[in-house]
Amino acid sequence: MNKNERASSVLKILNHKYPKVPIPLKHKNQFELLIAVLLSAQCTDDRVNKITPSLFAKANNPIKMKKIPVKTIYSIVRPCGLAPQKSKAISNLSKILVKKFNGNVPENFEELEKLPGVGHKTASVVMSQGFGHPAFPVDTHIHRLAQRWGLTSGKNVKQTEKDLKLLFPKKSWNKLHLQIIYYGREFCTARSCYGIECKICKTCYPNRKSPIKTKKA
């Protein structure tokens, strides 16, 4: 089975298993999504979803958020980890959004990635889930699975994103990156399967007998 055949099998299995995929991070507007994704760095979605209601009750837009002291933001987001950096980034990006974008979240990668605390992956999630533009956010989990399934050389998340975009139809990207995340959490976790147990791994590599080690991003 070559790489294109593996990609076709992966897409078929995921579409059957997850015909519909909810967005993991709870939000009511693009600003809330941006903040939630920023907070999710090195933190689980479940924990973020427990924390954001308290934060958004105080401020669910940049006009309100910029007025909240960083100390107050920090006290709320502290359980997410990296709280000092994240609280400052939330405050500073809110001020920029008000000053430069009239309180709106910019709808392009270039401006999003200039915001404090916002990298390419965060921008990709906002463009995909917030605005509906084709994007393929790749985190360490998708990076690991793409290696297990033989879809990438696995050097880094940037290369993995490039490889996946070449393998899958553009119209599938927004749904597919979520399908991969859900499948990984349920069947092909970091500490199980190891490339030999789940349906996708068995389909892609039916003759694989030994666990494989994946390269970290």
- Which residues are the active-site residues? 121, 139
CB–CB of 163/20 below 8 Å? Answer: no
Count CA within 13 A, CB hemisphere, residue 178: 19
CB–CB of 171/133 below 8 Å? Answer: no
Neighbour count for residue 16 (Cβ, 10 Å): 9
Rounded to an integer, what distance in angstroms lies between the CA atom of residue 212 and that of residue 204?
Answer: 13
Tokens describing residue 127 = 């463009």
Rounded to an integer, what distance in angstroms lies between the CA atom of residue 35 and that of residue 80?
Answer: 12
